[in-house]
Chains A and B, each alone.
Chain A
Amino acid sequence: MKGFFTILRRELAGLFFSPLAWVLLFLTLFYQAFFFLYFIEGTGGEVNIAVTWILGGSSFWFLVLFLPPLVTMRMISEETRSGMLEFLLTAPVGEAAVVVGKACAATAFFSLLWSSTFLFGLVCQFLGAAPDWGVVLGAWLGACAVSALFCSIGLLWSALTATPLLAAFLALLTNLSLVFLVPLLERSLLGIPRETVHAVVEKIDVVAHLQSSFLRGVIDSGHVLFFLAWSAALLFLAVRAIESRRWLG
């Protein structure tokens, strides 16, 4: 993992010193503000429900399905296409450091994006209706965990293809499958014992792991490990993809 911090600084600088990141942040703040106010008015001023929906409702899922593929699509594939990746790997930096550094940078970007919820909570506290900060913290951590997982998926596809758009498209398809198709598996797989299907679905159900703990203000080590384990597995495969690209020439 030599060179991890160097890569991390480089990627963070690349993200935050580019106009794209700030445009995305600006638009996301507008988007989240709209839905936060919508939920506040719809629930008659109930702050905790609005906060939970911002980081766990359909508006959140729309963002988290589309944004990570867009942020990660160029991270490896563009460098592969331009030849920068080979140059980078000749430096005393391992493939693992490159991949993990890029994943951490992307996750840090999304952590900043979701932290706008704390600002919404502060405004509500200033107005005399403090949210349940434990729930806000749990929801934010859950959003970061989901973002880390989807960034790992994006990085894997970015490592497997040399075309950023293709990487983004494939990552988006994978994200959509995880969120929408997995819950349907239990109802649609015929001929396979339901207990087996249920056991498989439990291992990949991202929505259930987010909703059953983080969104309630509970930090569950099992659910944290769920996101970490899958992220680690996907990043490992991304590292292997880069290694094989190097050896295949």
Chain B
Amino acid sequence: MSRHSAHRASRGRRLARGLEALLAAVLAVGAAILVIDLSDWKYARHDFSRSGHNTLDPELMAILDRLPEKARVDLFLRPLKAPFERVHAEASGRFLDELQRIAGARRDVLDVVNHAANDLEGSLERQRELGVEGTNIIVVSCGDRHVSLRLYGDVVNVDWGNPLREHIRYLQGERISGVYDPRTYLPGEFVPAQVSSVRGAAALAEALLRVGSEDRPRAVFVQGHGEDDPFSGTGTGLSEFKAMLEAEGFETAPWMGERDEPLPADATLVLLIGPKQSLPPEDIAALETYVSQGGQLLVAPSVDEMDRNFERGARAVLEGYGLKLQQGIVCLALRTRGGASLEGTEKVTRFQVDETGLNSSHPTTTPLRADGRSVEFLLTAAFSGSDLQTVGNGVTRMRLPLISAPSGAWLDLPLVSGPGAGRYDYVYEAGRETRSVRLPLVKSSENPVGAGGGRVLGFGSALFLQDDLFGTNRDFLRNAVNWMAHRETRLRIAARNAFASRLDLREGNALTVLNYSLWLGLPLVCALIAVAVALKRRRA
């Protein structure tokens, strides 16, 4: 064979060997990836930790097992600016740790994608796909259903301390609500924020329950009687409430009255919020029929109705279920810095109700009590009446106060004479106005046996649901709509803490023993063995 042909043959052999090597590499990598994929499909996991804190709560496991398809958690977290960066680091760190624990244990049904803070384009693209916006939100999706959670509020409870005014503006710009209580706020005195609690597993479980169910409950807003229109865009007064309903998996739709179309019988929830004129008789009849057939009705009168008695307004609807609103506006005196009580200003009509004013055994309020949360009212009326009464057609309805005004609040009545007759003076008049009792501000009416009509939830004022107060009242409203839709409102996922073991470094000789044994003892043993080995080699 000539040199030239030998050279070509050698090149051919090298090329063949090269291709063989490449094929081997592709096969090896492919086999590894296949094994890894299969091992993620079926895997076994054992928690050796002493506290078992990596083992998921059985209730959470049951929810994950029931998911119809793989769920996905999209994280859109962004650090907060000073002086809240530490709080954010702790809050997000603890939540991410919990989420990693859950996702690691059940990666067959749960996928987590953390859209990094510096990946703005990716985050926005995914948010557009999901139809959500904002930062520090967590979106849980399954199929075409998704639920949004706020890091601050739904997942993490933060005591914001006493922030400065610029901090308040900043936090409110970040859509973080409940930052301060205007009644107890001390301007200029900064108290740092701190994380109160993290309920990542419970919040995630609740969200998975929503998206895991293929049912889409329908929430119908009654329109056409002067109510705020939540469908005309943001900033319309009920836009945040509607957004919350949709984030909870509700389909929302307007109902313009019986003259336009019959009230949908399949509506899970009907909302009559703030009508400013009387409803036609056929609309009232449609609502009554709907409730008698097991529908759920939420009613809140407008402030206008307080002054002008509508014949067939929201108040009349509520009375049909034994929820009678009294005349007057609930007021609570302000406390000045010196501790004096201040009345006579419209500011007394705005107040917060803490956990002591929340029903201690109702599913809508017990979670708020447990978390020490408050709700806020503005220009609200109060209910009256007993808790148990037979109401027409032999149907017995039980009425429960869910939220009651703080002690010290009074029902301010309009002046009957003088230059301000018919107007409110916001001053307590002993003998004429009620002060000593806890005034019910939110009340429910339902048939305790379950047959003969659905649930009715009444509010003293439609302002409770509107955008201005929604941030503070969101949790109660979310619990309320889910309770009315007969969906589990709040899960108690038991938190398991990692086993902690701590050396006392201040007292005793722990540090000394550690220093001697770790710096001297162990390396010395190692050195002795090395010398022994060297000596043995030399002899050999």
Which stretch, A18-26, A60-68, A75-83, touches the partner chain B?
A18-26
Nearest neighbor of B113 in chain A, beta-carbon distance: A198
User: Which chain B positions have C-beta within 8 A of A9?
Assistant: none
Which stretch, A35-43, A88-96, A174-182, touches the partner chain B?
A35-43
8 new A-B contacts at CB < 8 Å, known A187-B116, A194-B113: A45-B505, A124-B514, A135-B499, A194-B122, A198-B113, A217-B47, A220-B45, A240-B24
User: Which chain B positions have C-beta within 8 A of A220?
Assistant: 43-45, 104
User: Which chain A positions have C-beta within 8 A of B533?
Assistant: 16-17, 19, 22
User: Which chain A positions have C-beta within 8 A of B46?
Assistant: 218-219
20 contacts between A and B (CB under 8 A): A30-B519, A40-B503, A45-B510, A48-B500, A127-B508, A129-B501, A129-B502, A129-B504, A132-B49, A132-B501, A134-B47, A135-B49, A211-B100, A220-B43, A229-B31, A229-B35, A229-B36, A230-B32, A237-B28, A244-B21
Also in contact, A120 and B35, with CB within 8 A (given A25-B526, A220-B43) = no
Is A196 engaged at the interface, CB distance under 8 Å to the other chain? Answer: no
Total interface residues on B, using CB and 8 Å? 65
User: Which chain A positions have C-beta within 8 A of B107?
Assistant: 222
User: Which chain A positions have C-beta within 8 A of B49?
Assistant: 132, 134-135, 138, 216-218
Is B172 engaged at the interface, CB distance under 8 Å to the other chain? Answer: no
Q: Do residues A219 and B28 form an inter-chain contact, with CB atoms below 8 A?
A: no
User: Which chain B positions have C-beta within 8 A of A116?
Assistant: 522
Q: Do residues A236 and B24 form an inter-chain contact, with CB atoms below 8 A?
A: yes
Q: In whole angstroms, what is the CA distance A129 to B118 when docked?
A: 41
User: Which chain B positions have C-beta within 8 A of A212?
Assistant: 100, 103-104
| Nearest Cβ on chain B to A126's Cβ, whole angstroms | 8
Q: In whole angstroms, what is the CA distance A249 to B19 when docked?
A: 18
Q: Do residues A244 and B523 form an inter-chain contact, with CB atoms below 8 A?
A: no
Is A213 engaged at the interface, CB distance under 8 Å to the other chain? Answer: yes
Partner of A123, one of B35, B45, B508, B517: B517
Q: Do residues B500 and A36 form an inter-chain contact, with CB atoms below 8 A?
A: no
| Nearest Cβ on chain B to A48's Cβ, whole angstroms | 6
User: Which chain A positions have C-beta within 8 A of B35?
Assistant: 225, 229
Nearest neighbor of A241 in chain B, beta-carbon distance: B21
Q: In whole angstroms, what is the CA distance A226 to B523 when docked?
A: 34
Q: Do residues A127 and B104 form an inter-chain contact, with CB atoms below 8 A?
A: no
| Nearest Cβ on chain A to B395's Cβ, whole angstroms | 54
Q: In whole angstroms, what is the CA distance A47 to B501 when docked?
A: 6
Q: In whole angstroms, what is the CA distance A116 to B519 when docked?
A: 12
Partner of B32, one of A44, A198, A233: A233
Also in contact, A22 and B529, with CB within 8 A (given A33-B519, A132-B498) = yes
Is B50 engaged at the interface, CB distance under 8 Å to the other chain? Answer: yes
Is B515 engaged at the interface, CB distance under 8 Å to the other chain? Answer: yes
Q: Do residues B522 and A33 form an inter-chain contact, with CB atoms below 8 A?
A: yes
Nearest neighbor of A200 in chain B, beta-carbon distance: B33
User: Which chain A positions have C-beta within 8 A of B9?
Assistant: none
Nearest neighbor of A124 in chain B, beta-carbon distance: B503
User: Which chain A positions have C-beta within 8 A of B28?
Assistant: 233-234, 236-237
Q: Do residues A22 and B526 form an inter-chain contact, with CB atoms below 8 A?
A: yes
Q: In whole angstroms, what is the CA distance A44 to B50 when docked?
A: 21
User: Which chain B positions have C-beta within 8 A of A225?
Assistant: 35-36, 39
| Nearest Cβ on chain B to A139's Cβ, whole angstroms | 10
Partner of B530, one of A26, A135, A138, A211: A26
Nearest neighbor of A230 in chain B, beta-carbon distance: B32
Is B494 engaged at the interface, CB distance under 8 Å to the other chain? Answer: no
- Chain B residues with CB under 8 Å of chain A are 14, 17, 20-21, 24-25, 28-29, 31-33, 35-37, 39-40, 43-51, 54, 100-101, 103-105, 107, 113, 116, 118-119, 122, 126, 498-505, 508, 510-511, 513-515, 517-519, 522-523, 526-527, 529-530, 533-534, 536-537
User: Which chain A positions have C-beta within 8 A of B499?
Assistant: 48, 132, 135
SS class, residues of chain B in contact with chain A: helix
Partner of B518, one of A36, A135, A226: A36
Partner of A187, one of B118, B515, B523: B118
Also in contact, A123 and B534, with CB within 8 A (given A237-B24, A247-B17) = no
Nearest neighbor of A123 in chain B, beta-carbon distance: B517
Q: In whole angstroms, what is the CA distance A137 to B534 when docked?
A: 32
Q: In whole angstroms, what is the CA distance A220 to B55 when docked?
A: 12
User: Which chain B positions have C-beta within 8 A of A5?
Assistant: none
Nearest neighbor of B50 in chain A, beta-carbon distance: A132
Q: Do residues A244 and B20 form an inter-chain contact, with CB atoms below 8 A?
A: yes
User: Which chain A positions have C-beta within 8 A of B31?
Assistant: 229, 233
| Nearest Cβ on chain A to B249's Cβ, whole angstroms | 24
Q: Do residues B510 and A119 form an inter-chain contact, with CB atoms below 8 A?
A: no
- Segment 129-164 of A: residues with Cβ below 8 Å from B: 129-135, 137-138
User: Which chain B positions have C-beta within 8 A of A134?
Assistant: 47-50
| Nearest Cβ on chain A to B490's Cβ, whole angstroms | 27
Q: Do residues B48 and A41 form an inter-chain contact, with CB atoms below 8 A?
A: no
Is A29 engaged at the interface, CB distance under 8 Å to the other chain? Answer: yes
Q: Do residues A222 and B39 form an inter-chain contact, with CB atoms below 8 A?
A: yes
Q: Do residues B510 and A127 form an inter-chain contact, with CB atoms below 8 A?
A: yes
Q: In whole angstroms, what is the CA distance A120 to B118 when docked?
A: 40
Closest A-B pairs by Cβ, 7 of them: A134-B48, A22-B530, A217-B49, A33-B518, A222-B43, A45-B503, A225-B39
Q: In whole angstroms, what is the CA distance A220 to B92 when docked?
A: 25
| Nearest Cβ on chain A to B318's Cβ, whole angstroms | 50
Q: In whole angstroms, what is the CA distance A138 to B498 when docked?
A: 14
Q: In whole angstroms, what is the CA distance A124 to B517 when docked?
A: 10
Nearest neighbor of B107 in chain A, beta-carbon distance: A222
Q: Do residues B513 and A127 form an inter-chain contact, with CB atoms below 8 A?
A: yes
| Nearest Cβ on chain A to B73's Cβ, whole angstroms | 13
Residue of B31, B100, B513, B523 with most partner-chain A CB within 10 A:
B523
Partner of B43, one of A221, A237, A240: A221
Q: Do residues A218 and B505 form an inter-chain contact, with CB atoms below 8 A?
A: no
| Nearest Cβ on chain B to A156's Cβ, whole angstroms | 10
Partner of B503, one of A25, A47, A119, A234: A47
Q: In whole angstroms, what is the CA distance A132 to B497 when docked?
A: 13
Nearest neighbor of A136 in chain B, beta-carbon distance: B48
Nearest neighbor of B37 in chain A, beta-carbon distance: A203
